[in-house]
Amino acid sequence: MEESEQTPLDRDVNKLLIASQPLSGGIDASTAPHRIPADMLQYGEENNIFEMMQSLLEQLLIYQPSEPIQFMISHLQLNNDSVPKIVILGPPASGKTTIAMWLCKHLSSSLVNRDILSLRFSSMSSDVYAEFQKTEYLTSPVLIHLLQSRLAEDDCVRKGWILDGIPETREQTLMLQTIGIVPRHVIVLSAPDTVLIERNLGKRVDPKTGEIYHTTFDWPSDVSIQNRLVEPQGISEPETVQKLLSYHRNIAEITPLYPRILKVISADQPCMDVFYQALTYVQSSHRSNAPFTPRVVLLGPMGSGKSLQAALLAQKYGLVNLCCGQLLKEVVATQDKIGMVVQSYFGKKAAVPDTLIMKVLVHRLIQPNSLTQGWVLHGFPRDPDQARLLDALGHKPNRVFFLNVPFDTILERLTLRRMDPVTGERYHLLYKPPPTMEIQERLLQNPKDSEERVKFKLDLYYRNLAELQEYYPHAISLNGDQDPYTVFEYIESGIIAPLPKKVH
């Protein structure tokens, strides 16, 4: 996260977390990698240790309890760090109340909006409420006070909450942040004003259930419901235009206060589509502030694009690009003792034993840049035994991707590859044909690209695929039969997103 996007509380918490780290290089061990257990970061991410500590520190800074130890114990016992905390904003007639109600039903959370808080306000002092009845307006301090007391109740603490149309102004947003009411997801619905005005004119409300209907787009089939629908106040065109002007003025000041957690969704589409987009977003996890060193394994058949994706990852994130076959060739070139042994297997065209492969691979994995920058490995492991061996030696990957490409596509990609023996230029008879007939006539095919050899390699891969997928249950499967940069975006999002939380 950029410094400018961090709230003061975020900065204070991160400073405290950094200061509490006992090792001079931070948790990524950039200055002392040998002192860090290889599985420390994996354990921290799998158990959400950083997020847990960050939440504790936030609560301590907000409430400043006299008994901090007991306070932290009570907070951990609540076990509610992952419950929904959602804000849904939008102009009049954008459907935010409907979406909020549907999300509440789906997530079993508590709905809170201005109307609900107004009803609670009626139980306060008669003089204050009498003034409210005259103006029909809750001042910001009163609204935030009511909201704070509502969110502190047991159902909101245990099951989470969804705020419908709150906060309404920058002032209210800052007041919420000051008292520690910070959502995890903020949704802003958006639609053209002309559409919203037309929608508002047809709005009807069921006074019994609070459900909102529309004379054109969402008319109930039940006659009894139709008969009891009423036209809400304040939906005329002049009133709607005035509300839209006020909304646009306020929302422009609110959105910058939620830079990392806000998503804009078009409300000018079927309500069910809006709901599913909102649901997908609120069920997603934001990128963690925890220090993270990627250890990525790309699995897939030959020709699935692993080498290209590894190169893209290495280029963008500075990861060490580890191709097992290339490592073996490099060690042979050194002509040292291990290289001579590997060369003997190459000479016999025999498979290099797993133990020898691991010796070469581990030597590269323990180099400082691999430990501090992270790595992306492809070409290994090829079967469950190699995967277990990699883990046993302390180099367990924290992200695994399967690139799935149809059998026929692999054959097309590989068997049509050719090379010009004169220039060394590589061609593909379908995707990159030679420019002249003269060049085409002298093109050669690498023996490993013959159809027989490709089918043999594919058979070996698919023979081990099911067991590898079982060994890596949290691996991400991707469609590799699409534009390489689209595949890269999916891989990138899988690396940036935190691991799924454990379900106890």
pLDDT, tens digit only, all 504 positions of the chain = 444 445 555 555 555 544 444 433 333 434 444 445 556 766 777 777 777 887 788 778 877 888 989 988 888 877 777 789 999 999 988 989 989 999 999 999 999 988 777 776 655 545 545 555 544 567 888 888 889 889 988 889 889 999 999 999 999 999 999 888 889 999 999 999 988 888 888 788 888 887 878 777 778 888 888 888 888 877 788 888 898 999 999 999 999 999 889 999 999 998 899 999 999 899 877 766 667 788 999 999 998 999 999 999 999 989 999 998 899 888 888 888 888 888 888 888 888 888 889 999 998 998 888 888 889 999 899 999 999 999 888 888 989 999 999 999 999 899 999 999 999 899 988 888 999 999 998 999 998 889 899 999 899 899 999 999 999 998 999 999 998 999 999 898 888 776 655 544
Q: Which of 282, 309, 331 is the last residue of a domain?
A: 282
Residue-number span of the structural domain to which 468 is assigned:
295-496
Q: Are 389 and 358 in contact (CB under 8 A)?
A: yes
Residues 153 and 259 in one domain: yes
**pLDDT score, position 207:** 85
Contact 7, 259 (CB under 8 A): no
H or E element in which residue 497 lies: none
Cβ 435 vs Cβ 323: under 8 Å: no
| Whole-number Å distance between alpha carbons of 503 and 53 | 19
Give me the pLDDT at residue 18, please.
47
* pTM to 2 decimal places: 0.60
Domain total in the chain: 2
Classify residue 77: in a domain, yes or no: no
Closest by alpha carbon to 452, among 414, 406, 492? 414
Classify residue 198: in a domain, yes or no: yes
Instruction: Give the CATH number, domain containing residue 218.
Output: 3.40.50.300
Residues 268 and 299 grouped into a single domain: no
CA angle, 192 then 194 then 197, to 5°: 110
Looking at the domain assignment, is residue 169 inside a domain? yes
Looking at the structure, tell me whether residues 484 and 358 fall in a common domain: yes
Is residue 309 located within the same domain as residue 252?
no
Q: Are residues 432 and 327 in the same domain?
A: yes
Q: Indicate whether 299 and 258 sit together in one domain.
A: no
262 and 357 assigned to the same domain: no
Same domain for 277 and 202: yes
* pLDDT attached to residue 104: 94
Question: How many Cβ atoms from other residues are within 10 Å of residue 257's Cβ?
Answer: 15
Q: Is residue 382 in a domain?
A: yes
